[in-house]
Amino acid sequence: MRPLDRLLTATNETEFFVLICQLVNVSDEKPLSAKLASIKTPLGVGLQLTVRQAMRYRTNDGTLLQWDTTHVFTLDEQGALSWWMPNQPIITGLKDIQASLKQWWEKEPATPVLGLLA
């Protein structure tokens, strides 16, 4: 089963979160890094997975190499799951996240994080 299918068939938020943590745990030679941290949330505490990607940008005087935060997954102690991406509204709830994930994978399958799902 593809990692994508495992994520899409996860039956609860905790299962999804554990799977995505395992998926982005890659070698340091990949242009991707992930950090898991405990955080304070408005309703208590939670776990936050921050995914950063090694990007390249053309500028007027060269090529800028820069690590950007591209995904943040948060699971709070009540079991609520959210997914943040830059310049996108935060997606909450397992069903909406799975639906968006499927759409993004179909649209941009080659991006580093989504490429891991194949």
CB of 60 to other proteins, least distance (A): 11
CB of 33 to other proteins, least distance (A): 8
Q: Return the bridge partners of 31, or none.
A: none
Does 109 bind other proteins (CB under 8 A)? Our answer is no
For 1-118, strand residue ranges (E) read: 32-41, 44-59, 62-76, 81-84, 91-92
What is d(CA 110, CA 39) in angstroms, rounded to the nearest whole number?
31
Instruction: With H, G, I as helix, E, B as strand and everything else as coil, classify residue 109.
Output: coil
Does 35 bind other proteins (CB under 8 A)? Our answer is no
Amino acid at the residue 64: L
Kindly identify the residues of this chain, within the stretch 51-90, that bind other proteins according to CB under 8 A: 54, 56, 61-67
Out of 3, 6, 21, 33, point to the residue binding other proteins (CB under 8 A). 33
Does 39 bind other proteins (CB under 8 A)? Our answer is no
Kindly state the tokens that stand for 52. Answer: 């950063």
| Positions in the binding site for other proteins (CB under 8 A) | 28-33, 54, 56, 61-67
